[in-house]
């Protein structure tokens, strides 16, 4: 039997891309000219907010008083684990080095933190406190000098107090009450007395993602992010109810968040197809309004014959989050190669990674797991190379470079070698 789709999506995460791109480009063009005035108009229009943009020290302290102690403890718990994981990643990056490639020719690299980073923290439908921890903490561990954050105003008082508290705890230097395209533009163009950022990180809705994509080049970005995704590989041993619950857990993110089941057991497939809509109906109104269209329009169930077929299908999806509910987890860890983050065994789940377990939750979507991983401490560090050489080394390197330049038709390049060969007393 070939791979069979028992449920096929009627839409893809890219369905609305063109419409989004057109509207975002227009707003960005306007904001580049109008800057602070335009940002405030956008904030008033979309967020109904006219208060302070830069969160003051007093407001940060006030936010801290509004957050209950148990939530503060949970934020601290998450921060400690994300920080510890980032610190271990930093230790395992390649160090600064220099090496003599050939006699008299020295080359090397320096790892230097990015100077200024902008971190977007979603806060519209849900208060993504964990996103503040995920974006700011690895930047701080990497040694970023200035971290400017932005999060949408929750009400007339500004961003969610839990987000403000977490951002301050993790080391944000500036916190802005701004959301959406206005926030991304403000971070990029350097509004409200802040320097333009060099690098943008953070998840957001399709408008935030598109704004980052369009501004890439003017600033660096962590990755091209689309709607969040989950894929689950499940064999006959999988707990069907847990599989269904985990798909629903991600579907509440938004109407266009795909959930994919890949299985070798038809009873698992049949159960999930029946059970997911039932679980969605039990949700509160807000999460249900997102989860219903997400599963209806974007959900897929794929039936395979073998583990190898499941692995092949999964690698084609290259899902943002990939759970494995199957036997022989070590085999899956070695075999699977395209995903944002991998969750092995039913004991762990995407929600743990989203909130507090350690690895970052800002991850590649729309198949980008084929060529990149997610946000990590190394994304905030530039690997810069350098070289120096002796006059003697020019005899070989200079002559070789000049010959190659002439072979390419680049005479001016060649002459930069010639002039040195002549000065150092070497024949061409």
3-state secondary structure of 6: strand
| 381-389: strand order across its sheet | 97-102, 105-113, 381-389
Has 50 been annotated as catalytic? no
Q: Label the pairing between strands 105-113 and 381-389.
A: antiparallel
The answer to whether residues 193 and 169 touch, using CB atoms and an 8 Å cutoff, is no
Structure-block tokens of residue 99: 């090496």
Which residues does 326 contact at the CB level (< 8 Å), separation at least 6? 233, 234, 235, 237, 238, 307, 310, 332
> Catalytic pick from 79, 128, 321, 325?
321
Enumerate the β-bridge partners of residue 155.
158
Q: Is 247 exposed, middle or buried (0-12, 13-18, 19+ CB in 10 A)?
A: buried
Sign of torsion over alpha carbons 222, 228, 229, 230 = positive
Report how far apart, in Å, the C-alpha atoms of 337 and of each of 25, 166, 319 are: 35, 33, 11
The answer to whether residues 51 and 157 touch, using CB atoms and an 8 Å cutoff, is yes
Report how far apart, in Å, the C-alpha atoms of 5 and of each of 260, 264, 294, 365 are: 11, 12, 17, 21
Report how far apart, in Å, the C-alpha atoms of 405 and of each of 192, 399, 425 are: 48, 10, 21
Structure-block tokens of residue 161: 């107090």
Has 292 been annotated as catalytic? no
Which residues does 310 contact at the CB level (< 8 Å), separation at least 6? 233, 262, 263, 264, 304, 326
The enclosing H or E element of 108 equals strand 105-113
Q: What are phi and psi of 188, to 5 degrees?
A: -70, -45
The answer to whether residues 178 and 186 touch, using CB atoms and an 8 Å cutoff, is yes
Q: Is 135 exposed, middle or buried (0-12, 13-18, 19+ CB in 10 A)?
A: buried
> Catalytic pick from 210, 229, 300, 320?
320
Structure-block tokens of residue 371: 């060529």
Supply the residues annotated as catalytic: 320-321
């Amino acid at each position: 039997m070939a791979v069979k789709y028992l449920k096929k999506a009627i839409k893809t995460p890219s369905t609305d891309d063109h419409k989004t791109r057109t509207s975002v480009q227009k707003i960005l063009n306007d904001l580049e000219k109008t800057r602070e005035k335009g940002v405030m108009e956008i904030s008033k229009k979309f967020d109904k907010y006219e208060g302070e943009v830069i969160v003051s020290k007093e407001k940060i302290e006030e936010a801290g008083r509004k957050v209950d102690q148990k939530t503060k403890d949970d934020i601290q718990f998450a921060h400690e684990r994300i920080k510890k994981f980032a610190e271990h990643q930093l230790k395992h990056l390649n160090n600064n080095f220099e090496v003599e490639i050939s006699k008299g020719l020295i080359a090397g690299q320096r790892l230097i933190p990015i100077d200024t980073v902008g971190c977007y923290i979603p806060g519209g439908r849900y208060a993504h406190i964990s996103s503040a921890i995920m974006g700011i903490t690895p930047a701080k561990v990497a040694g970023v000098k200035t971290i400017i954050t932005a999060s949408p105003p929750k009400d007339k008082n500004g961003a969610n107090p839990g987000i403000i508290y977490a951002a301050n705890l993790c080391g944000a230097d500036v916190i802005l009450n701004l959301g959406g395209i206005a926030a991304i533009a403000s971070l990029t163009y350097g509004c409200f007395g802040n320097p333009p950022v060099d690098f943008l990180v953070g998840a957001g809705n399709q408008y935030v993602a598109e704004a980052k994509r369009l501004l890439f080049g003017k600033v660096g970005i962590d990755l091209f992010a689309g709607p969040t995704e989950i894929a689950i590989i499940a064999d006959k041993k999988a707990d069907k109810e847990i599989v269904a619950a985990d798909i629903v857990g991600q579907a509440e993110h938004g109407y266009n968040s795909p959930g994919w089941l890949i299985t070798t057991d038809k009873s698992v497939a049949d159960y999930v197809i029946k059970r997911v809509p039932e679980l969605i109906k039990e949700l509160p109104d807000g999460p249900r309004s997102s989860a219903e269209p997400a599963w209806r329009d974007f959900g897929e169930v794929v039936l395979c014959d073998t583990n190898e077929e499941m692995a092949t299908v999964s690698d084609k999806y290259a899902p943002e989050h990939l759970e494995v509910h199957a036997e022989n987890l070590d085999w899956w860890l070695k075999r699977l190669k395209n995903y944002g983050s991998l969750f092995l065994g039913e004991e762990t789940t995407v929600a743990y990674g989203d909130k507090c377990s350690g690895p970052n939750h800002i991850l590649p979507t729309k198949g980008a797991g084929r060529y990149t991983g997610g946000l990590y401490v190394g994304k905030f560090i530039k690997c810069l190379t350098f070289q120096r050489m002796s006059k003697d080394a020019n005899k070989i390197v200079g002559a070789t470079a000049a010959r190659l330049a002439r072979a390419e038709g680049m005479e001016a390049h060649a002459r930069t070698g010639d002039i040195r060969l002549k000065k150092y007393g070497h024949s061409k």
